[in-house]
Every structure is written in structure tokens, then in C-alpha cells.
Structure 1
Amino acid sequence: MRRSHAVRSLIAAGAALVGLTATLGAAPAGHAEDGAGDLPVNYNFLLGAIAAGAKLDADPPGGNDWTCRPTAAHPRPVVLVHGTLGNKNTNWQAYSPLLKNNGYCVYSLNYGVIAGTPPPINQFGGLGNIKDSAQELKVFVDQVLAATGARKVDIIGHSQGTFMPEYYAKFLGGASKIKKYISLAPLWHGTKGTMPLSMIAKGFGIAEDDFPVCAACVQMGNESQFLARLREGGLLVGNIEYTNIMTKYDELVRPYTSGSEPGMRNLVVQDYCKTDFSEHFEIASDPVGAQLVLNTLDPAHPQPVPCMVVLPFIGPLGG
């Protein structure tokens, strides 16, 4: 019933297209595609990821400029943390140039690559043990702080990238190095989506940390030992400011409310735009969510959150 309701809503949204011409194609404030020197921002996750696949080992547009120095307006560098089977380029074709255009020093890494995998498979991350991935993030954040002279970073994560940094914050000393922690499609209560893998691990007596191909997938299960340890004593660490941005149409984080956590700021994109049908992947390129992120990073200068028809996987209708 929920899926049929979503389809009916999508059809209705398409029928209302004429009435939305004032907002169709709107981008987050601060991004002007025809502005001098601005990098293009790809709000279509699927096409952006496919295009980035031609250069899997490349940095995303505007990212990993090690000569960048934070400004008084934006004193902290932003570290982007991709999701499972993603990488720094495929995952961040929207956020990396968007943040650069708005004056941020922005960085991203590949993590969780299975050791010994050959090219180009070795460019797909988020598969290894989350504990090891958190250590990789720790090293990367230290590199960013050393290069920029900043004392703290802001983190924006997608999917597993909302989950793994918490291990770094809680157990590897990251709490003192993170100011804002923004999560796109978070899973603070795990997900039922990985239940088949969890059942296989239990059935064959395979430890979560040692599960082949994707140990992280099992660790993100809603009944995993990893999750139980992560949540023990609470998730709020130090003075970190947590913001969660969810979509009701998330097909991988089940239920989507797994991303909501007491004591954190919890946002659902459909509360700001009912015609936003972003799912688990498009949320990483969604212009509605992107403006929420920009307003969270710079709350002193909030801009209106745009509303338009946003289709699953392929982004804003008409632009």
C-alpha cells in the first residue's frame, strides 16, 4: 500500500508540474551555475555516479585542494564520507562542487576497500570492517587538519558514511576534532535491509568482523553486535552537533526512521517539500537536502529551502 501511495503521489506531482514552474530546477542558495568561476553541480545522483565512473580514482570537482585555507566565514574544512560501494568521486558530484562554490575547503576519501582487490575494483569502498575504516578516517582527518591549520572539521556522511564516523568519534579520539556531524540517510538504529547477510553469518558461525566481501554490511544490521557496542552509553559524544537528514522513500535504511535519534536534530526532506521523492541514493544529491545542509553549516545566514519535483535516482524534474 505504501508503494502504491508513493506512485500515486508521484503521478499527482507530475500533473502539478505547471504550478511548480517557479521552483522547478531551483538550486540551493549560493550556487549560481552561470556565476563566474562556479563549478557545475550535478543534482542527478545516478548520472553523476556514472560519469564519475570514467575516472574512479579522481577527486570530485572542487575537492581535495590541499592548498585551500579556511576563511573566517567558513573556518572549518568539510570532510565528505561516502557510503557502501561508493567512493570519493562517485558519491560527491553534487556536494563537493556545491561546497566549494560556497567558499568551503572540502575533502573526501576512499575507505573500506578490501585488501588485495585489483583495479578498478579497488576504487569501491565501504566494504571492510567498520573499525578499520574508522581508523582510515582518523588518519585522513588528521591530514586535513594539518594541511588547513584548522582545529576541527565538519563531517557530511551518506549511508554508511553516517555510521562509521561515530566509531571514530566515540572510540578513536574523534570527538575533539568534529564540530558538526551531518548525516544523509543515517541508520543510528541499524537497518533490516542487511538481515539476509546477518542470517548467513549466524548460520555459518562467521564473526561479523570477518564476514567476507562486506563485513560492514553485517555490522550495520539492526541486531548486530557492532551496533550494540556503538550505542552503548548513548551516541552523543563530546560537543558534536548532530543533524540527521532522512527521506521517507529510503529503500535501504529500513525503516527510514532508523536515522532519527533523540538529542540530535532530525529532519525529513518531505517535511520541507512533499514532491521530493529522493530515495537512499538521490538523497546524496538532492537540492532540497543540500540547502538544509548549507543552512546547518552556516546557520547565521540561512536561505529558503527550495521545493520542486525530485525523482528517485535522477533528481530534479526539468533540470
Structure 2
Amino acid sequence: MKLRWSRTLTLLPALALALGVTTTVPAAADAPTVRSGWNNYSCKPSADHPRPVVLVHGTLGNAIDNWLGLAPYLVARGYCVFSLDYGQLPGVPFFHGLGPVDASAQQLADYVDRVLAATGTSKVDLVGHSQGGMMPRVYMKFHGGAGKVNALVGLAPDNHGTDLDGLTRLLPYFPGAQQYLEKLTPGLSDQMVGSDILNRLNDGGDTVPGVHYTVISTKYDEVVTPYRTQFLNGPDVHNVVLQDLCAADISEHVAIGLVDRVAFHETANALDPAHATPTTCTSG
């Protein structure tokens, strides 16, 4: 197994680039986030922001590093903000989202129940980046989450799959490679275009009733391409392209979730549409 993991880990830098992984040093614990008012289980939602916000990281991300920009941004605006780790594989610290998507969705289900119990609320709002914008849809469709979610905001979500920046096009040239990825990193193969979980997720329609959906994309996305495959179809869907709001915005797949203040402002608008303000290049 050590040999297999050593071989797998040699692939992770390329896969990390393909899936928009950051190169920040992983945080050691949740304590810094609690001191910042984030992941604070004593937080009670206000009348202005009556639902807690749960942040769902992307592939090879984690509950802290993915959200060093957006979490404080939302806390400063009065939200109770929480984040989870999901999709952990044995012996692989810090870099999560590699386990089966369906199992990750059950982890999200358990975490949402924990947040609801702590805050005394009946629904959450979810904000996710990349896989974290798609996987909550599995939670809502197959794990009882539809009645517990008010809104889902996806930042560059792979709602209809990805070819891992072209890497999967190479798989037929390497016999056994796809089976290798499926066995050791099922969270990656689950996100490939045409995977079983994605086919089941999108069969019968992209949305479930009662949930407000927002997809925020960038035309410079180099991972989930064409970028319009990120969009959802449904009666309560708002699909947004950053460059339609700010033509000068050059954020790609990574930056849209980490540092883009235009995306942050549009996320805040999606969480509180009654008090939305125009999103421009100077928003934030």
C-alpha cells in the first residue's frame, strides 16, 4: 500500500493543479478560526441573517485553508459561518475531498445536522468551491438535505463533470490508469464527465424544489471547461459570470474561491437577495 500511495502521490501535484488546489500551508487546528468568529458553535444567527452558512471546500482542500478569504468576509457581515472537512482518505492528512462523493455527501449531512442543532435553526445556506459546489447537490438529492437547505452558492462548481484539465483524455493511453484512480482516489474519478454519481445526480433535472441556486463562474476557468457546463438549469437558478460583472476580472478556477472580492460580494448578494447591491469591480 505504501508503494501504491507513493505512486499516487506523484500524480497529486498535477491533479491538484487541475482541480484548483491551493499551495498554502495547511492550518493545524480550528482554534484560529474560532478566535476569528468562524466555526464558533456558540454563534446564534441574527434576525438580519437568520441561517448559518456552511462552507464546503474543494478537492484536495480543507475546512480552513480554502476559506481564509471568504469566511472572515462573511463573519464581518454578521453571518454565523462554519466549515467542515470531508472526503478524507487514510494516511492522507490535510488534503481532503478524495473519498467517494456519495460518502462525502453523507459527511455533509451529518455536519449540517450538527450545525442546525448548535444554532437552533431549521435550515442552512451552503457555499461551496469546485467539488464543494457540486457535492451538496448529492446531499440534497440522496441524503435528505433538500428540506434543510435554503440556498446553495457554487463557486466554479463541476456540476456536470470535468476532464481534470484534459488529464482524463490521456487515460486510454495508460491501461489500468482509470481503475487505479477509481480505487485509490474515488473522489477524483467521481467528478469525471460521465461518472455514475454525476449521471444519477443530473438525471431528471439539475435542481430540487425549494432551494435557491446560484452558480458563480469565470470564463478563465481552466479546470471545469467549458465553463458554462458549471451552470444549472431550473426554476430557481441564477447563473453568473464574473466578467459580466467586471470585465477586468481575471480570476481563474483557484482565485474565484480564494481571493476574488467580486465573487465574494456576489456570494453575499445570493445569501441575502433582499438587500443585494450591484456587484462591480470595486465591490467588497
Q: Same fold (TM over 0.5)?
A: yes
State the TM-score, normalized to the length of structure 2. Answer: 0.84
Conserved 8 A contact 1:198-1:218: no
CA distance in 1, matches of 2:212, 2:139: 15
Task: State the Cα deviation string for residues 37-90 of structure 1 (Å, max 9, x = none).
Answer: xxxxxxxxx9x962xx25243364431100000111111000000000100111
Task: State the Cα deviation string for residues 165-224 of structure 1 (Å, max 9, x = none).
Answer: 11110000000000000000012211122654486499439669x814421111111121
Larger mean CA deviation between 186-195 and 89-98 belongs to: 186-195
Name 2:137's counterpart in structure 1.
Answer: 166
Structure 1: which 5+ runs fail to align?
A: 1-45, 310-315
CA deviation after TM superposition for structure 1 residue 304, in Å: 3.0
Name 1:13's counterpart in structure 2.
Answer: none
CA distance in 2, matches of 1:199, 1:229: 25
Q: Does 1:273 align with 2:246?
A: yes
CA distance in 2, matches of 1:203, 1:226: 23
CA distance in 2, matches of 1:126, 1:77: 22
Larger mean CA deviation between 217-226 and 82-91 belongs to: 217-226
Aligned with 2:265 (options 291, 298, 306): 291
State the TM-score, normalized to the length of structure 1. Answer: 0.75
Q: Give percent identity, aligned residues only.
A: 42
Larger mean CA deviation between 211-220 and 269-278 belongs to: 211-220
SS at match of 1:157: strand
Conserved 8 A contact 2:157-2:224: yes
Structure 2: which 5+ runs fail to align?
A: 1-19
Name 1:101's counterpart in structure 2.
Answer: 76
Q: Does 1:306 align with 2:277?
A: no
Conserved 8 A contact 1:288-1:305: yes
CA distance in 1, matches of 2:109, 2:278: 34
CA deviation after TM superposition for structure 1 residue 308, in Å: 5.4
Which one has the largest radius of gyration?
1
Tell me the matched-pair count: 257
Larger mean CA deviation between 191-200 and 238-247 belongs to: 191-200
The one-letter code sitting in structure 1 at the alignment partner of 2:27 is K
CA distance in 2, matches of 1:131, 1:211: 14
The one-letter code sitting in structure 2 at the alignment partner of 1:305 is T
Aligned with 2:29 (options 57, 68, 72): 57
The one-letter code sitting in structure 2 at the alignment partner of 1:107 is F
1:220-231 map, 5 Å: 220-231=191-202
Q: 1:195–1:277: structure 2 CA closer, same or farther, 3 Å change rule?
A: closer
